[in-house]
């Protein structure tokens, strides 16, 4: 395991934040699938900027260039590679972090892993910028899934402690997911946006940052997908979603709250609905024994607050072996969860296309 994921459908992510370029190889896609470039760019845009005052001012022109795998507008059965050039790079902003690791970032652990040979500029390979090729890959997979009746969408369940409503997990219409996955700031209750933005801006004004929780759902998966024990859908989704920087937790269905329920509350009764087996409620998040039940797959992903903050922080100088005070310059999102939301959708799409192809 590494920057590659998967067994049938394989995803390889490469690049560093301030190197020549970043990109993705997606190997194992079905052949003959039309890929609409115009559906990909809006997803890239959602990730690149969360709109309004809270987004990063670094404006990459994230126009992915497809090098291979698409022929006459369709997947051609060979690996799809897309690359993005790094531009608008201010490397000098990052010079100091080589030996003075930023708290909350992977600077120190990357240094130790590579014996100090990592590209430390802007976080290098650990940068959030690496989520751009993930979104590209996910947008490709989502188009293929959509033709198979599977839709994916997420909303900001909480930002800076301000909450949206939760999914009604047993009743999630595809149209809702289509709406959410087209928005820059997707909420079940759009009215929550103002309070959320206000809380984020307040933190930013105080040279601080905030975390958030993304709740994601997928509908249209038939019953019986997945494999036992380590091949369960939870195992797979977790193994790919922890690939997004700043993710610190994942839960399915009732999740951690299930630990406080009684079995009589948490068990979902089976019912017949239009001749199909369904469950009355959906505490199980569409997954029993790791296998799909045909109910919506619902999960939540916790994002820590952006580690880059303007406040002075305590760190060490790895060369001088001394305590130092660190001021992180540059401009950063005060809330990574917002821009990370389309990445959650994207990697979910990669994982579920693999699942559907497994059959």
Other residues' Cβ atoms within 10 Å of the Cβ of residue 77:
14
Q: Which is nearer to a copy of itself, 178 or 202 (CB)?
A: 202
Looking from the CA of 64 toward its CB, the CA atoms found within 13 Å total 31
Task: Tell whether residue 250 is a contact of a copy of itself (CB under 8 A).
Answer: yes
Among 64, 153, 253, 296, binds a copy of itself (CB under 8 A): 253
In angstroms, rounded to a whole number, what is the distance separating the alpha carbons of residues 216 and 352? 13
Q: Which is nearer to a copy of itself, 146 or 239 (CB)?
A: 239
Task: Tell whether residue 270 is a contact of a copy of itself (CB under 8 A).
Answer: yes
Report the greatest alpha carbon distance in the chain.
Answer: 71
Q: Which is nearer to a copy of itself, 11 or 44 (CB)?
A: 11
Residues 177 to 206: which contact a copy of itself by CB under 8 A? 203
Phi-psi category of residue 198: left, alpha or beta, with phi > 0 → left and psi -120 to 50 → alpha: alpha
Among 45, 89, 170, 318, binds a copy of itself (CB under 8 A): 318
Among 38, 61, 205, 321, binds a copy of itself (CB under 8 A): 321
Task: Tell whether residue 41 is a contact of a copy of itself (CB under 8 A).
Answer: no
Q: How far is the CB of 210 from a copy of itself (least distance, A)?
A: 6
Task: Tell whether residue 128 is a contact of a copy of itself (CB under 8 A).
Answer: no
Among 74, 90, 147, 171, binds a copy of itself (CB under 8 A): 74
Other residues' Cβ atoms within 10 Å of the Cβ of residue 198:
12
Contact window for a copy of itself (CB under 8 A) among 38-46, 87-95, 175-183, 211-219: 211-219
Q: Which residues contact 175 (CB under 8 A, 6 or more apart)?
A: none
| Count of residues that interact with a copy of itself, criterion CB under 8 A | 150
Q: How far is the CB of 158 from a copy of itself (least distance, A)?
A: 6
Bridge partners, residue 82, by sequence: 24, 66
Dihedral over Cα of 94, 100, 106, 109: its sign: positive
User: ∠309-116-319 over CA atoms, to 5°?
Assistant: 75
Among 122, 138, 186, 305, binds a copy of itself (CB under 8 A): 305
Task: Tell whether residue 19 is a contact of a copy of itself (CB under 8 A).
Answer: yes
Task: Tell whether residue 87 is a contact of a copy of itself (CB under 8 A).
Answer: no
Q: Using an 8 Å Cβ cutoff, are 215 and 303 in contact? A: no
Q: How far is the CB of 122 from a copy of itself (least distance, A)?
A: 12
Q: Using an 8 Å Cβ cutoff, are 203 and 210 in contact? A: yes
Q: How far is the CB of 140 from a copy of itself (least distance, A)?
A: 14
Task: Tell whether residue 65 is a contact of a copy of itself (CB under 8 A).
Answer: yes
Task: Tell whether residue 170 is a contact of a copy of itself (CB under 8 A).
Answer: no
Q: Reading across the β-sheet that carries 4-5, which strands appear in turn? A: 4-5, 10-15, 21-27, 80-85, 65-68
Helix, strand or coil, per DSSP, at residue 297: strand
């Amino acid at each position: 395991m590494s920057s590659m994921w998967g067994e049938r459908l394989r995803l390889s992510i490469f690049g560093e934040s301030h190197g020549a370029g970043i990109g993705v190889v997606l190997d194992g896609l079905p052949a003959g699938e039309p890929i609409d470039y115009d559906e990909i760019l809006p997803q890239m845009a959602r990730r690149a900027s969360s709109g309004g005052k809270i987004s990063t001012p670094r404006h990459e022109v994230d126009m992915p260039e497809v090098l291979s795998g698409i022929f006459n507008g369709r997947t051609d059965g060979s690996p799809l590679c897309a690359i993005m050039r790094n531009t608008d790079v201010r490397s000098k902003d990052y010079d100091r972090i080589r030996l003075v690791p930023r708290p909350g970032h992977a600077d120190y652990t990357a240094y130790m892993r590579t014996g100090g040979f990592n590209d430390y500029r802007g976080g290098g390979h650990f940068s959030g910028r690496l989520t751009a090729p993930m979104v590209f890959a996910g947008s490709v997979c989502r188009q293929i899934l959509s033709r198979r009746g599977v839709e994916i969408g997420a909303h900001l369940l909480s930002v800076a402690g301000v909450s949206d409503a939760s999914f009604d997990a047993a009743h999630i219409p595809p149209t809702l997911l289509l709406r959410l996955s087209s928005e820059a700031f997707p909420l079940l209750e759009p009215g929550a946006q103002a309070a959320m933005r206000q809380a984020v801006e307040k933190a930013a004004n105080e040279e601080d940052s905030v975390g958030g929780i993304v709740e994601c759902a997928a509908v249209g998966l038939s019953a019986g997908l997945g494999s036992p024990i380590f091949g369960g859908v939870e195992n797979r989704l977790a193994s790919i979603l922890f690939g997004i920087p700043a993710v610190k937790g994942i839960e399915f269905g009732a999740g951690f709250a299930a630990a406080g329920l009684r079995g009589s509350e948490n068990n979902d009764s089976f019912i017949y609905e239009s001749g199909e087996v369904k469950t009355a409620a959906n505490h199980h998040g569409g997954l029993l024994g790791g296998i799909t039940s045909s109910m919506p797959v619902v999960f939540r992903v916790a994002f820590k607050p952006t580690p880059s903050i303007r406040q002075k922080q305590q760190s060490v100088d790895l060369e001088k072996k001394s305590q130092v005070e660190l001021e992180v310059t540059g401009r950063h999102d005060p809330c990574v969860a917002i821009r990370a939301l389309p990445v959650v959708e994207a990697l979910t799409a990669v994982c579920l296309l693999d699942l559907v192809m497994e059959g």
